[in-house]
Amino acid sequence: MHIVVCVKQVPDTKIIKINPKTNTLDRRSAPAILNPYDAHAVQAAVSIREKTGGTISVLSMGPPQATAVIKKSIEIGADRGFLISDRAFAGADTLATSYALSKALEKINKEMPVDMIICGKHAIDGDTGQVGPGIARRMDIPPVTNVIEVSEVNLEEKTVLIKRKLSNGYELIQAELPCLLTVEKEINQIEYSPMPNMIKAARYEPVIWAVSDFENVDRSQLGLKGSPTIVGKMFTPPRPEGGKKIEGSVDEQVNQLMDILMEKKDVLTLQSSK
Partner 1 sequence: MPEKFDVIVVGAGPAGTSCALVCAQKGLNVLLIERGEYPGSKNVMGGVLYRKQMEELIPEFWKEAPLERPVIEQRFWMMDKESVVQFGYKGLEWGVEPYNNFTVLRAQFDQWFAKKAVEAGALLINETVVTECIVENGKVIGVRTDRPNGEVYADVVVLADGVNSLLSKQLGFHKEFRPDEVALTVMEVINLPKEKINDRFNLEDNQGCTIEIFGDSTKGNLGTAFLYTNKDSLNIGVGTTLSSMIKAKLKPYDLLDYLKTHPMVRPMLAGGESAEYLAHLIPEGGYRSVPKVAGNGVVVVGDAAQLVNAIHREGSNMAMHSGLLAAETVIEAKYRGDFSESSLNLYRQKLYDSFIIKDLEKYKDATHTFENNPQYFKEYVPMMNKAMSKFFTVDGTPKRDKQKEIMKSVTSERGTIKVIQDIYRAWKAVK
Site string for partner 1, 81-120 (x = CB under 8 A): ----------------------------------------
Biggest CA–CA distance in the chain, Å, is 82
Judged by CB under 8 A, which of 65, 194, 219, 255 binds partner 1? 194
Residues 133, 145 contacting (CB under 8 angstroms): yes
Could you say whether residue 198 binds partner 1 (CB under 8 A)?
yes
Residue 161: CB minimum distance to partner 1, A: 29
The three-class DSSP label of residue 262 is helix
Stretch that binds partner 1, among 13-21, 104-112, 186-194, 248-256 (CB under 8 A): 186-194
In the complex with partner 1, the residue whose CB is nearer, 127 or 191, is 191
- Binding partner 1 (rule: CB under 8 A), the pick from 113, 196, 228, 237 is 196
Size of the site for partner 1 (CB under 8 A): 9
Pick from 109, 120, 123: nearest CA to 177 = 109
Task: Provide the minimum distance between the beta carbon of 194 and partner 1 in the complex, in angstroms, as a whole number.
Answer: 4
Q: Using an 8 Å Cβ cutoff, are 55 and 80 in contact?
A: yes
Residue with smaller CB distance to partner 1, 199 or 257: 199
Site membership for partner 1, residue 268 (CB under 8 A): no
Contact 135, 101 (CB under 8 A): yes
Q: Which of 14, 111, 151, 195 binds partner 1 (CB under 8 A)?
A: 195
Contacts 24+ apart (CB under 8 A), 228-233: 228/93, 228/95, 229/93, 229/94, 229/95
CA distance 73 to 81: 8
* 50 contacts partner 1 (rule: CB under 8 A): no
DSSP-assigned beta bridge partners for residue 1: none
Give φ, ψ of 159 to 5 degrees: -130, 160
CB of 71 to partner 1, least distance (A): 11
Q: Where are the beta strands (DSSP E) in the chain?
A: 2-7, 9-11, 17-18, 25-26, 32-34, 55-61, 80-84, 116-120, 143-154, 159-166, 169-176, 179-183, 207-209
CB of 203 to partner 1, least distance (A): 6
Of 43 and 97, CB closest to partner 1: 43
Residue 203 found at the interface with partner 1 (CB under 8 A): yes
Residue 260 CB: number of other CB atoms within 10 A?
A: 13
Which of these segments, 109-117, 123-131, 165-173, 199-207, binds partner 1 (CB under 8 A)?
199-207
Complex with partner 1: residue 91 or 194, whichever CB lies closer: 194
Binding of residue 14 to partner 1 (CB under 8 A): no
Q: Which amino acid is at 117?
A: I
Which residues in this chain contact partner 1 in the complex, by CB under 8 A? 192-196, 198-199, 202-203
